[in-house]
């Protein structure tokens, strides 16, 4: 049905012209996969011989390896979904077609509250859909949520390890150069504490494809004030990024118990 704005014209048809399941054959993959936005962590694991290449995804950027990580006799998928909702969601659709069913993503975010420290762990409980991808997977709505079982598993792991965290609403946007003072004020007023570029799309793909998805972010730059504060802290970021990978792996193991 034609709407005033094309983005609102959701079509619930299950099968598209380019259907991932017809392009990417199922292969022998683990059930759970870590979406790791930290390329240096993946590179470090690869140098240490801890990753095995099991498939190669491709885009105009070139090859994007899909790895397997083994721990305690368990297999876990690992790959970099790339930044921004369109490409990250497409890669997610592709790895679902390959056979993955559970996903834990780890990444960084901008904070909308200066009291959220660099390295603070945040579990998104919903995402404001200020991007375009999610509207092609689920009907229009202001927000979309991750899978509750995934959020519970993350909380369980963080509490077990006595790692402090906060939960809250995130703002997913396609245009970080258009995070204007007025937009930031509006998002803060509706309860957003972070801003990033993929969560809403990930959550929507998970709902459409009926898979499990949850995410852990860490506080990085601060866009809560009148000026951008990059809050550069290399060592702090490096340590939290590697630690986040271990948390995601443990969460994948925890999901096997749910």
Structure-derived torsion over alpha carbons of residues 139, 208, 125, 195, reported in degrees to the nearest 10: -70
Residue-range domain boundaries for the chain:
27-255
Give whole-number Cα distances, 63 to 1, 21, 38, 82, 91, in Å. Answer: 38, 20, 17, 12, 12
Report whether pLDDT(236) > 80: no
Overall pTM > 0.85:
yes
Which has the minimum average pLDDT: 26-30, 163-167, 238-242? 238-242
pLDDT greater than 80 at residue 232: no
CA distance 146 to 29: 23
- The per-residue b/e assignment along 209-241, b for 16 or more CB within 10 angstroms, e otherwise, is bebbbbbbbbbbbbbbeeeeeebeeeeebeebb
Q: What is the pLDDT of residue 258?
A: 77
Contacts of 90 (CB under 8 A, 6+ apart): 59
Between residues 258 and 182, the one the model is more confident about: 182
Q: What mean pLDDT, rounded, does the chain reach?
A: 96
pLDDT class of 233 with cuts at 50, 70, 90: low
Query: What is the average pLDDT across 220-230?
Result: 94
Best CA proximity match to 91, nearest among 119, 55, 46: 55
Does 67 have pLDDT greater than 60?
yes
The CATH classification of domain 27-255, taken from the options 2.40.30.10, 3.30.930.10, 3.40.50.1580, 3.30.420.40: 3.40.50.1580
Average pLDDT over residues 181-201: 98
């Amino acid at each position: 049905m034609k709407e005033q704005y094309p983005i609102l014209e959701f079509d619930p048809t299950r099968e598209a012209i380019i259907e991932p399941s017809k392009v990417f054959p199922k292969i022998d993959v683990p059930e759970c996969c870590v979406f790791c936005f930290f390329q240096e962590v993946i590179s470090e694991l690869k140098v240490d011989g801890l990753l095995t290449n099991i498939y190669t995804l491709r885009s105009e950027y070139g090859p994007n390896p899909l790895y397997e990580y083994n721990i305690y006799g368990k297999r876990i998928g690992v790959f970099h979904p790339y930044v921004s909702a369109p490409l990250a969601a497409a890669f997610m659709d592709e790895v679902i077609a390959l056979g993955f069913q559970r996903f834990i993503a780890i990444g960084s975010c901008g904070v909308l509250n200066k009291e959220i420290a660099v390295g603070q762990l945040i579990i998104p409980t919903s995402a404001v859909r200020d991007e375009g991808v999610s509207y092609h997977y689920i009907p229009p709505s202001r927000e979309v949520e991750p899978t509750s079982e995934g959020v519970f598993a993350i909380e369980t792991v963080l509490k077990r390890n006595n790692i402090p965290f906060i939960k809250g609403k995130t703002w997913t946007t396609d245009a970080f150069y258009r995070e204007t003072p007025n937009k930031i004020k509006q998002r803060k007023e509706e309860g957003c504490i972070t801003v990033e570029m993929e969560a809403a799309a990930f959550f929507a793909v998970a709902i459409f494809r009926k898979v499990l998805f949850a995410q852990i972010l860490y506080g990085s730059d601060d866009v809560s004030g009148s000026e951008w504060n990059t809050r550069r802290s290399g060592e702090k970021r490096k340590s939290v990024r590697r630690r986040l990978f271990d948390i995601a792996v443990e969460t994948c193991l925890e999901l096997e118990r749910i």
